[in-house]
Amino acid sequence: MEKGSPCMVSTVSKVGGPPILSAMQLKKGFKKGEITYLALLQDESTSEREDVPPKIKEVLEENKDMMPPELPKQLPPRRKVDHKIELESGAKPPASTPYWMAPLELEELKKQLKDLLDAGFIHPSKAPYGVPVLFQKKHDGSLRLCIDYRALNKVTIKNKYPIPLIADLFDQLGRAKWFSKLDLRSGYHQVRIADGDEPKTTCVTRYGSYEWLVMPFGLTNAPATFCTLMNEIFRPYLDRFVVVYLDDIVVYSNTLEEHVEHLRTVFKILRENNLYVKKEKCSFARDEVHFLGHIIKDGTLCMDQGKVKAIKEWEPPNKSGKTNVVADALSRKAKLAAISMVEGDIMHTIKEGLHHDPLAKKLVELAREGKTKRFWLENDLLYTKGRRLDVLKWENLRRKLVKECHDTKWAGHQGQRRTLALIESSYYWPQMRDEVESYVKTCLVCQQDKIENKTPSGLLEPLPPSERPWESVSLDFISALPKSEGFGSILVVVDRFSKYATFIPAPTDCTAEEVARLFFKNVVKYWGLPKSIISDRDPRFTGRL
């Protein structure tokens, strides 16, 4: 074989897959002198495709400095949008001690801290507070440095900046023909922490405390800050030829000429804002785009099968039972609990009904002429989807079938859901659910023999009448109202003697204490304290002050 010539290696095995060698087996093979070849596998799925149009290649060549293999060893510039950490009134950043780490983790911690220091992303801190760090193993076995910001996030004022709705983004992409997807390289590390907020990001380690100068992972408002930045810089072009979801940028166009200009515009904006792209995760000038777990192509939207592969291939759980057990009488039970097509007089009645029902006549004509895909004829009977027999409202047929599937010994007076499922497996008619529900509810046997699962409600007694005004009052809320002057609900107080009603505006989320204040201010102040108060079990009435 000549050097540089391609080599095809088959991995098909009769056993069912390529053989896997352990390190020990490979070592033994070397000792025995077996011929061994070493091949380096390269994933070409993320590399630049050869079929990228020449004009797109020109744009990529012009902007290759915006797609470096790693971020520059310098801090990103200050921008209009930097990450601010605003704490709740009176709150202070938490102070914690470092977590214990294994020796291998300590070695990895040293290495990653050095890399972050060399990049200028962190520097030593003298802040009197900080949060611990820990490691999480990645899929490839390497360790990811994680910062436990939970305590800091708890006292941080939340930024409710709206993240784009995925459905809205799909609507924008649906009519496009050309797509390019750009992914920023370590997008969070390209955003600065606001001046003065750096000490709040302090993390404590075995080797000292460090504060972040760029936005780390784990902060509660980090996604909102990043989304704000991306929307700010791409605002003139959003929903025209650009959609942004966090650090994913999708450029879409109807023609290749438009796409070249759109892509050049996007790179220009990224250059002006010193934002760098991760080329390995980008795709350019494609007729389809993989975006947020879906594939968009030619105006169609479908699920990315790679995302649901694990669920599709998930084997159903199987718990094997006992073996060689002597069969009992129940195991020889005949298979009666399955609905079968009714023969004899009922089938004849169904056929006869097709000639008397005007709607059925029309459906039969359409089925014979092949003008409907929903119904078809078979042995002079009308069938629909699932090979279910269409039952007409003729000679009380529907009720007879419901009775057959509910009252007979093999049916066993099942509930509404099971009775409906039994009928639906072989028959069809409109409003079947309502008819089954009505029949089961009025079944005398079920009403007499079925046991209620709910707690008995006790004896109901009328309330004694009130003898004078404001001796007894009733309370309730009118809610789900449009807000007016800050109020979203009404507390209604009714005197049970005179039926005089007092309407008190109240906040939607008022507490039991606020309800008590409103009651004393608007009722007790004018009419005195009543002997009894009647209400429902609303937590605002039953809760403790």
Whether residue 340 has pLDDT greater than 70: no
The pLDDT of residue 324 is 59
Q: Domains, the chain, ranges and CATH?
A: 54-297 (3.10.10.10), 348-449 (1.10.340.70), 472-542 (3.30.420.10)
pLDDT tens sequence across 83-127: 999 999 888 888 999 999 888 899 999 999 999 999 889 999 998
Estimate to the nearest angstrom the gap between the alpha carbon of 323 and the chain centroid.
Answer: 43
pLDDT tens sequence across 439-452: 888 888 887 776 66
Whether residue 278 has pLDDT greater than 60: yes
219 to 190, 227, 338: CA distances (angstroms) = 15, 14, 57
Query: For residue 155, which of 224, 87, 223 has the smallest C-alpha distance?
Result: 87
Specify whether the backbone of 299 is left (phi greater than 0), alpha (psi in -120 to 50) or beta. Answer: left
The pLDDT of residue 44 is 47
pLDDT tens sequence across 408-432: 877 778 888 888 888 888 888 888 8
The pLDDT of residue 15 is 43
Tokens, residue 349: 């009645």
Buried b (16+ CB within 10 A) or exposed e, 127-140: bebbbbbbbeeeee
SS3 state of residue 108: helix
The pLDDT of residue 320 is 67
pLDDT tens sequence across 355-408: 777 777 777 777 777 777 777 877 777 778 777 877 777 677 788 888 888 888
Query: For residue 406, which of 392, 395, 391, 422 has the smallest C-alpha distance?
Result: 422
β-partners of residue 183 are: 248
Q: How far apart are the first and last CA of the chain?
A: 87
- Average per-residue pLDDT for the chain: 82
> Cα(110)–Cα(122) distance, rounded to whole angstroms?
13
Estimate to the nearest angstrom the gap between the alpha carbon of 419 and the chain centroid.
Answer: 33
Mean pLDDT along residues 517-532 = 91
Torsion of CA 354, 408, 427, 339, to 10 degrees: -130
Query: For residue 490, which of 515, 472, 527 has the smallest C-alpha distance?
Result: 515
User: Among 287-301, 333-347, 466-480, 491-505, whose mean pLDDT is lowest?
Assistant: 333-347
SS3 state of residue 75: coil
> Cα(426)–Cα(413) distance, rounded to whole angstroms?
19
> Cα(530)–Cα(495) distance, rounded to whole angstroms?
9
The pLDDT of residue 46 is 42
pLDDT tens sequence across 285-296: 888 888 888 888
The pLDDT of residue 20 is 65
Tokens, residue 153: 């996030």
